Copies of this chain bind each other. A is one copy, B any other.
Amino acid sequence: MSIKPLSPYELRVWHAFKLMGEDVMGRVGRDIAEATGLSGPDFGVLSRLADCGKGEMRQQTLAESMGWDKSRLSHQLTRMQERELIERREVDKRVVLVVLTKHGREKLNAARPIHAGSVRRNLLARLNAEQIETIVRVSNILGEDD
């Protein structure tokens, strides 16, 4: 039994949806990178660490809290470790604590206001309250496993 192709309207929706994310994320990422040298993912990891874990967190927990694959996080951390943004503290061969370094915390603090400004400029300030509410609701719906 064949599946109907997407209608022009459905296609428009799909393209709109696709563009939306890439676009905004790109701008915010570039703003942060330009001002601080941190990439989007760098900033994501650092702020999770600071906010959820008071500066240290177990690797697996960190991965889950970001919706990342363990491998992805491992690679990312290796890169960040080389730049001394974080440290790995091996409690046990199966328990690794990820720890914010002094340098990492400084970078993070420098990046936060840039990030806040950019998110407001590129996202929050452009939408009205109702649209923002819808975004949040839609994100929750789409995030469900199913």
Contact = CB atoms under 8 A, between A and B. Distances in A.
Contacts of A116: 3-6, 10
- Band of interface residues on A: 35 or more
Nearest to A21: B21
A119 B22 contact: no
Copies of chain A in the complex:
2
Contacts of A19: 67, 139, 143
For the complex, would chain A's binding face be called helix, strand, loop or mixed by DSSP majority? helix
23 contacts: A3-B117, A5-B113, A6-B115, A6-B119, A10-B116, A10-B119, A13-B124, A13-B132, A14-B123, A16-B135, A17-B135, A19-B67, A20-B135, A20-B142, A21-B21, A21-B22, A22-B67, A23-B142, A24-B142, A122-B142, A126-B141, A127-B141, A134-B138
